[in-house]
Amino acid sequence: MDKDTDRKRRPPSSKAPARGETRDRLMQIGMEIVSERGFSATGIELVLKHAEVPKGSFYYYFKSKDDFGLAVIDSYAEYFAHRLQRIFQNASLTPMEQLSAFIDGGAAGLRKFEFRRGCLVGTMGQELSILSEEIRHRLETVIQQWEVCVEHCLRAALDRGQVRPTLEPATASRYFWIGWEGAILRAKLSQSIEPIEVFRSQFFEFLGCTPPTGN
């Protein structure tokens, strides 16, 4: 084993938190910073500083910044899958209430972080020309999973006659995510929730139904 590999692969010191804990913290901080700044403007030093993790530990877990980026995407995908599952598998809501609840959640997140944090996939998507092909492919796969989820929701609404009968769930779901990423971008730009509400009202108009009213 050469020196460099040895340095990179040395386990964190005994004083450091358990392996999983440190990695989890790097992922959490990574998601937060990349969602705000984008990937190319996220320095490893900044992540380490915020996570209070020494540099050696970083290279114990990740081969490179790109390797870290892929892990951040995977963590975000996992977090987002839980969020989607919680909403879209909530049988006490109608499909259209589920969709509206998802939009509510996005709006709440934007407000909570004062419009600084958007969608990690959208933010990294804008940087593609300077990111690796592997990262591009991973981002595309993640958003395709989200599309399947909303497609099921729209199909359920169609089966129940709650949207116009001409709606094509698969295409409409793609259209939903196209608009959703655009709405988040615009909300950040105007520092306001209003673009999200424009998106909600017009997308429901497109579906041929009125947005369900919240409680």
Positions touching a copy of itself (CB under 8 A) are 36-38, 40-41, 115-118, 122-123, 125-130, 136, 139-140, 143, 166, 171-172, 174-175, 177-183, 185-186, 188-191, 195, 198-199, 201-202, 205-206
Whole-number minimum distance, CB 61 to a copy of itself, in Å? 25
CB nearer a copy of itself, residue 106 or residue 118: 118
CB nearer a copy of itself, residue 79 or residue 113: 113
Whole-number minimum distance, CB 40 to a copy of itself, in Å? 4
CB nearer a copy of itself, residue 22 or residue 42: 42
CB nearer a copy of itself, residue 76 or residue 177: 177
> Are residues 179 and 203 in contact, defined by beta-carbon separation less than 8 angstroms?
yes
- Token pair belonging to 95: 């499909």
| H, E, C per residue of the chain | CCHHHHHHHCCCCCCCCCHHHHHHHHHHHHHHHHHHHCCCCCCHHHHHHHHCCCHHHHHHHCCCHHHHHHHHHHHHHHHHHHHHHHHHCCCCCCHHHHHHHHHHHHHHHHHHCCCCCCCHHHHHHCCHHHCCHHHHHHHHHHHHHHHHHHHHHHHHHHHCCCCCCCCCHHHHHHHHHHHHHHHHHHHHHHCCCHHHHHHHHHHHHHHCCCCCCCC
Whole-number minimum distance, CB 47 to a copy of itself, in Å? 15
Whole-number minimum distance, CB 38 to a copy of itself, in Å? 6
Whole-number minimum distance, CB 35 to a copy of itself, in Å? 9
Measure the CA–CA gap between 147 and 81, rounded to whole angstroms: 11
CB nearer a copy of itself, residue 16 or residue 185: 185
- Token pair belonging to 136: 């591009």
Whole-number minimum distance, CB 60 to a copy of itself, in Å? 28
Measure the CA–CA gap between 29 and 40, rounded to whole angstroms: 15
CB nearer a copy of itself, residue 61 or residue 175: 175
